[in-house]
Structure 1
Amino acid sequence: MTPPEPFPYQRYAPWKTWVEAGLWTLLILGNFAGNSLTELMELWRRGAGIPTWEPLVWEGSSALVLLLLVPVLAWFTGRFPLYWHLWRRRLALYAAASVVLCVVHVLAMVALRELVYRALGSDYQFGPWLRGLVYEYLKDVRAFFLIVVVMEGYRALLRRWQGEASLPEAAPPAPDAGPADAEPARPERFLVRKLGREFLVPTGEIEWLQASGNYVNLRVGGRDYPLRSTLARVEEQLDPRAFARIHRSYMVALAQVASIEPLDSGDARVHLKDGSVLPCSRRYRQALRERFDAGA
């Protein structure tokens, strides 16, 4: 049997980290080259007797530290995403983060400049620290929010390309609905949006679920659809007779389980019918085995 052709996003996924690292490197190097050239032209215009290497060290140290801070900003924006409906609550947090970024940026780049100047037999003076920090912050805060906008825009494009799941809006309860303590309604399907199209995915087609930051990836037909939720919240909504928690970050559809492989550590591996292998922690291993021993 010929394996199915991978989706475009699946072909991109192995290269994703390298592409992102390369693009950020190119962007920051391009900014370094532009700023260095502008600084040199201004010094030549004024006739300042400053060696050419000094502006290159100034801009190069700043660019290097900023490049090293990009992964930290990627983690921060992933952990505390600046969604439209949360921007007022998150604005103070992001403002504080911009100050931290500036302080770290300045301290690190000043340290690098001092090392280079000493190696070249010269002395570097940052100037009055308070005025210098204010000056650098006015530049860094713009860079900080520009990076945030780029990261969030890139993630939004990836979600549209990959597809993003959500629960369809629930219908209002009927006048003769049962008591409030009745079993909660289970979603029969999820709404998936992808490149401007919408389609419904039956809950029974979900193979497994994985927590990923502020999202839960729904695996359907070998493809992941991120759902903006927590795994605990999704677990409450899914039928416990059809799905089981096997790890703090994973749930699995019981119908997809082929075998359970115990490990010496007390954990286990869950082998699925499609060949996927998921981790099962010792906390959930016995309960999962009992489900199968009981014919679940």
Structure 2
Amino acid sequence: MKQRSFDLLAVAGIFAAYTVTIRLALDTDLAGSLLGGLANTIPVVIFGLAVRHIVLRWLVGRPVALQLGAHLLLCAAFATLSYWLLIMLLGLFVGASPEGFVIRPFKAGAVAWQTLENVTTYALIAAISHLQAMHKAAPAVADPAPAAVDAVPADSTDAAPSRYFVRIGDELRPLDLDTVVSIGGADDYAEVRTLTGKHLVRVTLAEFARSLDPAKFARVHRSWIVNTHYIASAEPAGGGRLLLHLENGQTVSTSRDGARLLRDRVI
């Protein structure tokens, strides 16, 4: 499922859950329930998107202690700002008049309940963000679909070939290995990613690895080979692993052996 579709379904689910809960718990009319659901959903969407951006951009792959401290601060900010915006919106939606609107803070018990709800919501958003980061770093599962093509070496000499041909139907198209950023393996298929696109080919990762130039390509994980010329940056990911940021925007998590292989190239 694409990210946008997932986000839209999540927002719709949150709005529906709040609306139904308000309707049943407070016995309000339909209009009041919808406005209450909207007031509760807007803070989650606004600050939830901010949290996801911060987690994916700045926290993934950082040391555990740093992540823990950052999450505590982010959680406090999320809970406080969400409560503040909620009471603002409730005053605007429910208590508005030609003279303005009245902001009524919750009573102590309601504040405690709302804080618990905000903390729980933050935990879910942070957990989903980390799962999304792991999914991006993990190899895509190759689907044996008609789009899959065969990879044919340009030559059969012992030297590592500089170019492959990919067979698409009856047509052969060149695939210059110098443009390959990464190769992900899944069963009998390999997903070859370049700066401009990707190809699913019927070649195992082990077969690819045997024909690549070890000076350029490194098998950093049992499921990933990367072109070291396209590693934009690398950062510790805990447990002796590295998180590689590639120049095509891809993120790949190495194994400990893969990280050691790259560290051996550090001068």
Secondary structure at the residue paired with 2:252? strand
Q: Aligned partners of 2:249 and 2:43: how far apart in 1?
A: 37
Match of 1:217 in 2: 245
Are the aligned partners of 1:65 and 1:109 in contact in 2 as well (CA < 8 Å)?
yes
Q: Aligned partners of 2:50 and 2:116: how far apart in 1?
A: 20
Answer 1 or 2: which has greater strand percent: 2
Q: Deviations over 1:89-139 (max 9, x none)?
A: 4323312211110111111121112112244678563333x5443221100
Q: 1:209 to 1:54 in 2, by over 3 A?
A: same
Q: 1:137 to 1:87 in 2, by over 3 A?
A: farther
Give yes or no for the alignment of 1:75 onto 2:16. Answer: no
Shift of 1:23: 1.7
Q: 1:161 to 1:132 in 2, by over 3 A?
A: same
Give yes or no for the alignment of 1:97 onto 2:74. Answer: yes
Match of 1:275 in 2: none
Structure having the higher Rg? 1
Which deviates the most, 70-79 or 93-102? 70-79
Shift of 1:143: 0.8
Q: Deviations over 1:52-103 (max 9, x none)?
A: 33332222112012111232112221244355x9434432331221111011
Q: 1:118 to 1:158 in 2, by over 3 A?
A: same
TM-score normalised to the size of structure 1?
0.49
Match of 2:145 in 1: none
Q: Aligned partners of 2:37 and 2:235: how far apart in 1?
A: 34
What is the CA RMSD across the aligned residues, in angstroms? 3.9
Structure 1 alignment gaps of length 5 or more: 1-15, 45-49, 166-186, 229-233, 240-296
Tell me the amino acid that sits aligned with residue 3 of structure 2.
E
Shift of 1:213: 8.7
Match of 1:198 in 2: 223
Which protein has greater RCO, CA pairs closer than 8 Å, 6+ apart? Answer: 2
Match of 1:125 in 2: 104
Match among 58, 65, 83 for residue 106 of structure 1: 83
Tell me the amino acid that sits aligned with residue 92 of structure 2.
L
Q: Aligned partners of 1:200 and 1:101: how far apart in 2?
A: 39
Aligned residue-pair number:
182
Q: Aligned partners of 1:76 and 1:202: how far apart in 2?
A: 28
Are the aligned partners of 2:91 and 2:102 in contact in 1 as well (CA < 8 Å)?
yes
Are the aligned partners of 2:96 and 2:102 in contact in 1 as well (CA < 8 Å)?
no
Are the aligned partners of 2:136 and 2:251 in contact in 1 as well (CA < 8 Å)?
no
Q: Aligned partners of 1:98 and 1:58: how far apart in 2?
A: 23
Q: Aligned partners of 1:224 and 1:67: how far apart in 2?
A: 26
Are the aligned partners of 1:24 and 1:67 in contact in 2 as well (CA < 8 Å)?
no
Structure 2 alignment gaps of length 5 or more: 141-181, 185-214, 237-242, 255-261
Q: Aligned partners of 2:232 and 2:53: how far apart in 1?
A: 18
Match of 1:42 in 2: 25
Shift of 1:24: 1.8
Secondary structure at the residue paired with 2:59? coil
Match of 2:123 in 1: 145
Q: 1:192 to 1:224 in 2, by over 3 A?
A: farther
Give yes or no for the alignment of 1:226 onto 2:252. Answer: yes
Are the aligned partners of 1:164 and 1:192 in contact in 2 as well (CA < 8 Å)?
no
Secondary structure at the residue paired with 2:218? strand
Which structure 2 residues correspond to residues 270-289 of structure 1 after superposition, within 5 A? none
Are the aligned partners of 1:66 and 1:105 in contact in 2 as well (CA < 8 Å)?
yes
Q: Aligned partners of 1:138 and 1:71: how far apart in 2?
A: 19
Tell me the amino acid that sits aligned with residue 67 of structure 1.
V
Shift of 1:156: 0.9
